[in-house]
Amino acid sequence: MAKEKDQNTKDNKNLLICFLWNFSAELKLILMALLVLCTLATLLPFIPSSFSISASELRFCISRIAAPDVVNSTSLAVVNDPGLENGVIKRPLTDKAVVNNGDIKLPVKPKSVLNNGGTKRSFTGYGWAAYNFVLMSAYRGGVNSFAVIGLSSKPLHVYAHPSYRCEWVPLNQSENRVLTDGSRILTDWGYGRVYTTVVVNCTFPATVNSKNSGGTLLLHATTGDADRNVTDSIPVLTESPNSVDFHLYDTNRRREKYDYLYCGSSLYGNLSPQRVREWIAYHARFFGEKSHFVLHDAGGVQEEVLEVLRPWIELGRVTLHDIRDQERFDAYYHNQFMVVNDCLHRYRFDTKWIFFFDVDEFIGIPPKNTISSVMETLEEFSQFTIEQMPMSSQLCFSGDGPARTYR
């Protein structure tokens, strides 16, 4: 029994020696690691407090050791989807960039040497800085014509070649569509800022919607840009069945609702209720009972001013349009040109004459005359202008002839 026990002890010792011999390299690494950790623990109190390593940095170092083949690039996304090859999805950033082995390389632009020895540089645009077309309104201008009023990018009209086409789409699908070129009118050229006012005239070769069955007018606005020649198809006007009064466009049968209609510019800033009260009272009497005033609030009609206008609105003498939303589009003078063109096409068949001037201006006529007698002398004309005379709080003129004024 004792001999057998000694033999077992000897065998266990031999097994332990064989185990230590076979894993001697691993044991050395473990002992070295323990030695390094003990050394760091001993030196840690002597390390300056300014030195620190965050947990995220530590994880980054470990991940670099554990997965050395992962490419760190904004164009690659690492996922744990076993269904994807290598667990990597390639994500192209733009159509202009080239992704190669995880590196983003921009296309090399050819250097063009000019005759004078200079180098021509090129510029590539991305995205859109301004809208191709901002629609405000569209109106029928006759049996075969329409007017579309809106804004467009001013640089687009300076450096590109935008164009417009008009298409009538009948509600009855058995009727044919009609397509024609649109004629653009830049009413504020030279004053435009980021946006400029554009009035597109759509004149078709024949009567549109002659059966009064309804339809939609589409405006196809093409940028004409060298890099991105994009066309936007915009529904600008819809006519429901039996909604068009074609008698309105017959001068012999049309009966205007007003003799005179006033189209006001954009009202903004700190308006004086007292000045607005005297202005509207003066011109309501000046133009007579068959007159109407259209005002546009661009932020200037505050509650006090609205209290002044409310009696005139209730009498049906004043119509107030809230146009504050146009402030999002930077154009000249609170989009004044777009606003007055909208007013012109909106009311042109409702009145005999339309007047355009500001609320700090007063219309005057020669003595012993009325507005009716003056307008009778201008019946052969379709448009006239009024000469301005500056007013002064220190100088009043009294006489029969025109006054000579000084700056």
User: Across the strands, what pairs with 345?
Assistant: none
| Span 228-247, average pLDDT | 95
pLDDT tens-digit series, residues 164-191: 999 999 999 999 999 999 999 999 878 8
User: Across the strands, what pairs with 170?
Assistant: 215
Q: What confidence score (pLDDT) does residue 171 get?
A: 97
Asked whether the predicted pLDDT for residue 25 surpasses 80, the reply is no
Q: What confidence score (pLDDT) does residue 89 get?
A: 35
354: nearest Cα among 369, 340, 337: 340
d(CA 109, CA 249): 58
| Residue whose pair of structure tokens reads 């009035």 in the numeric block | 199
Asked whether the predicted pLDDT for residue 6 surpasses 80, the reply is no
Q: What percent of the chain has pLDDT over 70?
A: 72
pLDDT tens-digit series, residues 278-336: 999 999 999 999 999 999 999 999 999 999 999 999 999 999 999 999 999 999 999 99
d(CA 130, CA 162): 14
